[in-house]
Amino acid sequence: MRRAISVILATLVLTCSVSAQRRETPRALAEMVAAERAFAKYCTEHGVRESWLEFFAADGVIFHPGPVNAKEFYRPRPPTPQPLPFTLNWSPTYGDISQAGDLGYNIGPWTAVDNVPPLEPSEHGYFFSVWRRQADGSWKVAVDFGTGALPGAADGHELERPFTQARQYKSKVPRGADPDAELRRLTEMDRDFAEEAKRAGALDAYLARVADDAKVFAAGVPPAGKDALRARITAGQDVSLTLAPLGGGAARSGDLAYTYGSYELRAGGAQKERGYYAHMWKRDERGRWQIVVTNFQPEKAP
């Protein structure tokens, strides 16, 4: 089984497309994208339980609705029957990787097709996955958190779209940056956001952290740009957004990291929405941490 996976990975690495900048995709990024594609292929053949157990890290996290250990969640479940009752497939179409080549993320569409009569309508959405290189050199999923099913019919060609690397620039990383210290710093930034929002307003305070080309996930809609946050957070001093970080990780190079946790949005003192969030952080050319992927999913998504 592992030999077959290795063959799939090697083949996919050789066929991984180049980035939008028309230069060779970094080898580590190609390997991570290939791992994502191998994960999807394995799922179409063996099912969700088996593929999640195979491709997730020992501490890998999924959301049901809050963060739980993926292996602990799926291991007690019975094996997936064959033939598969439904086919889940996906494809990475956008992402990035750290300078150290040890941490990265993928974004792309997914589809689920029922195989057992009476056939239900197919479902579709978008995923956001964070990958970490393991001690043995393999890539495993650290976090998986997407949009859930979206309304309307899926575009039949979405899974065929080529992969594009995020905008490239040289992140300015302080000399001697410590990944653990950087993660603690980002966690505190999440935790202190409510205090910043009191001074600047929830929307303005949050937008100050988000990169101009960030990918924004929200329940019921495809990933969008920075302006989409205005539909999630209302401007004004009477609105508060509280983030409670629960976990995360950082690259050895100190230029890429992720955090996740729970959030609560209040308006006029009353609770408006609560749920879970995930951030992908990247240093800009000046060394400032900016959010390049943000995902807010309410506990009761549409």
Contacts of 287 by beta carbon, 8 Å cutoff, 6+ apart: 171, 172, 173, 174
Q: What's phi and psi for 190, nearest 5 deg?
A: -60, -45
Q: What is the mean pLDDT of residues 287-295?
A: 95
- Quick one: pLDDT at residue 121? 75
The answer to whether 225 touches 244, Cβ cutoff 8 Å, is no
Highest mean pLDDT (candidates 7-16, 94-103, 269-278):
94-103
User: What confidence tier does 12 reach under pLDDT thresholds 50, 70, 90?
Assistant: very low
69's enclosing H/E stretch is strand 67-69
Q: 176-196 as b/e, with b when 16 or more CB fall inside 10 Å?
A: ebebeebbeebbebbeebbeb
Please report the domains of the chain, with CATH numbers, ordered by start residue: 2-165 (3.10.450.50), 179-298 (3.10.450.50)
Greatest CA separation for the chain: 61
- Quick one: pLDDT at residue 22? 37
- Quick one: pLDDT at residue 23? 44
**188-224 pLDDT, tens per residue?**
999 998 888 888 888 888 899 999 999 999 888 889 9
Instruction: Tell me what the pLDDT averaged over the chain comes to.
Output: 87
**125-153 pLDDT, tens per residue?**
999 999 999 999 999 999 999 988 898 87
- Quick one: pLDDT at residue 265? 86
The answer to whether 52 touches 30, Cβ cutoff 8 Å, is no
Of residues 239 and 53, the one with the higher pLDDT is 53
Whether 17 has a pLDDT exceeding 70, the answer reads: no
Q: Where are the alpha helices (DSSP H) in the chain?
A: 2-15, 27-46, 48-55, 70-74, 179-191, 193-200, 202-207
**71-88 pLDDT, tens per residue?**
999 999 999 999 999 999
